[in-house]
């Protein structure tokens, strides 16, 4: 009985100290803004690999059921978990070794009656695989502080409870169990904590061959190691960095907007200038549309025939007259073609006062054909636009003027 009183006295002392921890944390935290108010978040969402922990511990348990007296047994804990926020986390764990109880009934776990207690001492092994929902009250009420020495964490748990006989006793029972607990975290280093874990597990009395409801309180002490990135970042820090970056982007956008406004003003000036030019061009187009239509026949009327001259007795142009013909082809005929499609008559002539009539007839034809060949071959004028004629001319004043090819349009 003295051992039992000592166990519950120690548990009560730990519970009182744990209950006081939020106020103590609030005092030592110093987690306040410029107005003295506690800062509680919000916090940036952590990555999957951040804020994990793994813990182990050992301690004692007591088993109680209806009509029984408790006895102390050994327990061990092992768990792994993750904090999703500074206040909310989850873990899965294993607890077990063995438990004792002074029961009011006989079973395979113990059938020898203790005359002094009038009870049957029973001993059995157990294992409890459970999932826990964690709530860090220190961070919830006092605000998150990664260097806080003392954290107070109540939790709810549920899972699979198995009891079994020891020392060859043939007994086993599987039950669902649930309950609550308190974790007392003492920060030793950035990644190592001393952990005191108080737990109460409610389970069926069948786990020791009885009936009704049984309770298994445990107290363990051990260590927890932080894995991955162990801390949290307030969004105010992130928002501040984002705000600074946004300020730079806003300044750049304002500069770009000002440049666009200047460019837009320049474009508007250009549009006004183009509109003015377009108005002038439209006026000129209307004037051209209102002009009298051009008759190609008028063009022929205004064209003066051209003449190239040959030496006496020759049907080939001298160098000087070849240049003259080149000028006529490139500057008169070519430019005239831009106005309308012209037709050309080549009138080969010879002097009647020089040579025989037969010879003169041959020369006049040969001279016309010569120019015809030059215009079609060298200058690419279509043959169907050329007509070749010949005649013998009596030029009394100057016979050399009759040795020619007259080019008429």
Strand partners, 345: 387, 408
The residue-averaged pLDDT of 157-168 equals 93
Strand order in the sheet with 306-309: 306-309, 404-408, 344-351, 386-393
Strands 88-103 and 69-70: antiparallel
- The radius of gyration computed from the CA coordinates of the chain, to the nearest angstrom, equals 59
The domain 296-408 is classified under which CATH number: 3.40.47.10, 3.40.50.1370, 3.90.1150.10, 3.30.1330.60? 3.30.1330.60
Render pLDDT for 327-347 as a digit per residue (tens, 0 to 9).
Answer: 988 888 877 766 667 788 889
For residue 45, pLDDT beyond 80: no
DSSP single-letter state for residue 38:
B
Token code pair at residue 348: 């080969």
To 5 degrees, how large is the angle CA 4–CA 180–CA 134? 130
**Distance of CA 26 to CAs 20, 30, 104, 181, 185, Å?**
10, 7, 48, 22, 15
Nearest Cα to Cα of residue 347 among 406, 268, 278: 406
pLDDT single digits (tens) 270-308: 998 998 888 888 888 888 777 776 565 565 666 778 899
Q: Is the pLDDT of residue 213 over 90?
A: yes
Q: Which pLDDT score is estimated for 23? A: 42
Cα–Cα distance, 349 to 404 (Å, whole number): 5
pLDDT classification of 19: cutoffs 50, 70, 90: very low
**At CA 49, angle to CA 43 and CA 54, rounded to 5?**
100
Highest averaged pLDDT of the listed ranges 60-74, 174-188, 230-244: 174-188
Pair 375, 386: CB distance under 8 Å: yes
- Taking residue 138's Cβ as centre, other Cβ atoms within 10 Å add up to 23
> What fold characterizes domain 2-233?
Porin (2.40.160)
Residues β-bridged to residue 164: 125, 172
What pLDDT, on the 0 to 100 scale, is given for residue 4?
46
Average pLDDT, the chain: 83
State the pLDDT confidence band at 233, using cuts at 50, 70 and 90: confident
- First-to-last alpha carbon distance for the chain, in angstroms, is 144
Pairwise CA distance, residues 214 & 207, whole Å:
8
DSSP summary character for residue 329: I
């Amino acid at each position: 009985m003295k051992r039992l009183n000592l166990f519950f006295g120690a548990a009560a002392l730990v519970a009182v100290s744990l209950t006081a921890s939020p106020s103590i944390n609030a005092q030592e935290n110093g987690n306040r803004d410029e107005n003295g108010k506690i800062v509680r978040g919000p916090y940036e969402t952590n990555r999957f690999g951040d804020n994990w922990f793994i813990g182990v511990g050992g301690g004692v348990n007591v088993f109680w059921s209806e009509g029984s007296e408790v006895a102390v047994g050994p327990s061990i804990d092992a768990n792994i978990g993750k904090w999703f926020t500074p206040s909310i986390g989850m873990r899965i764990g294993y607890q077990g070794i063995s438990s004792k109880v002074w029961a009011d009934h006989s079973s395979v776990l113990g059938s020898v009656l203790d005359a002094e207690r009038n009870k049957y001492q029973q001993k059995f092994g157990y294992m409890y695989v459970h999932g826990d929902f964690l709530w860090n009250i220190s961070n919830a009420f006092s605000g998150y502080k990664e260097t806080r020495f003392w954290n107070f964490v109540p939790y709810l748990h549920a899972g699979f409870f198995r009891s079994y006989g020891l020392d060859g006793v043939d007994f086993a029972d599987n039950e669902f169990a649930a309950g609550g607990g308190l974790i007392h975290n003492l920060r030793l280093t950035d990644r190592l904590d001393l952990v005191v874990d108080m737990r109460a597990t409610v389970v069926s009395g069948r786990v020791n061959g009885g009936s009704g409801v049984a309770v298994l309180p445990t107290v363990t002490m051990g260590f927890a190691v932080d894995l991955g990135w162990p801390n949290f970042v307030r969004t105010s820090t992130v928002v501040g960095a984002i705000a600074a970056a946004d300020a730079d982007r806003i300044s750049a956008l304002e500069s770009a907007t000002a440049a666009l406004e200047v460019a837009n003003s320049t474009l508007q000036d250009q549009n006004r200038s183009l509109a003015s030019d377009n108005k002038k061009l439209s006026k000129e187009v209307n004037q051209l549309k209102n002009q009298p239509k051009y008759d190609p026949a008028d063009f022929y009327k205004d064209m003066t025939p051209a003449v190239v001259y040959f030496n006496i007795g020759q049907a080939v142009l001298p160098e000087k007259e070849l240049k003259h013909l080149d000028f006529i082809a490139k500057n008169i005929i070519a430019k005239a073609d831009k106005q309308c499609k012209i037709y050309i008559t080549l009138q080969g002539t010879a002097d009647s006062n020089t040579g025989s009539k037969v010879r003169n007839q041959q020369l006049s034809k040969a001279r016309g054909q010569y120019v015809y060949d030059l215009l079609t071959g060298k200058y690419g004028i279509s043959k169907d636009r050329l007509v070749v004629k010949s005649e013998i001319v009596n030029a009394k004043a100057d016979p050399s003027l009759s040795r020619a090819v007259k080019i008429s349009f």
